[in-house]
Amino acid sequence: MESLRILLVDENRHGLVARRAVLEELGYVVETASLAGEGLQKAEEKSFDVVVTDYRFADFGGPELIARLHERSPRTPAILLSGYVAALGLTEVSTGADIVLPKGPSEHKQLVHAIARLLRPRASSSKTSRGALSSRSTLAPRKRRMA
């Protein structure tokens, strides 16, 4: 069975390293990017089963990254992590993410559960349909959570 692929995008190097270690320990194949543009480029070159992104970057924001990724692959789930979820009132609707999570002490546990929930339907599907990001149009429609 082929491992599920996750793209992590965050300017905070320590956060990337910690999240990557947690997810690789669980058997995921993880790639990282430190800027939104770098993450977008990686997603154009390879397919990912889920994208996890921060909210703010020097080049452009996480919500814009999610929107641009969804132009190519509307059904690729995205998780947005931010230390400003409550302060900025970030929601799934306002960011375009499937799940919005706060950074903090329980972040890794919440992230692992969120990824498992988003990927559950995919884990049982055939991996033969995986290819370019834009080839995922045969998967079930994404469900949006309301704020």
Q: What distance in Å separates the CA atoms of residue 109 and residue 120, rounded to the nearest whole number?
A: 16
Pairing of strands 5-9, 99-102: unpaired
Q: How confident is the model at residue 8 (pLDDT cuts 50, 70, 90)?
A: very high
Q: What are phi and psi of 54, to 5 degrees?
A: -80, 175
Q: What is the pTM of this model?
A: 0.80
Q: Which residue has the higher pLDDT, 90 or 41?
A: 41
For residues 131 and 47, the answer to whether their CB atoms sit within 8 Å is: yes
**pLDDT tens-digit map of 44-96:** 999 999 999 999 999 999 999 999 999 999 999 999 999 889 888 889 999 99
Q: What distance in Å separates the CA atoms of residue 44 and residue 42, rounded to the nearest whole number?
A: 5
Q: Which residue has the higher pLDDT, 115 or 90?
A: 115
How many angstroms separate the most distant Cα atoms in the chain?
43
Structural domains in the chain? Answer: 5-134 (3.40.50.2300)
* Amino acid present at 145: R
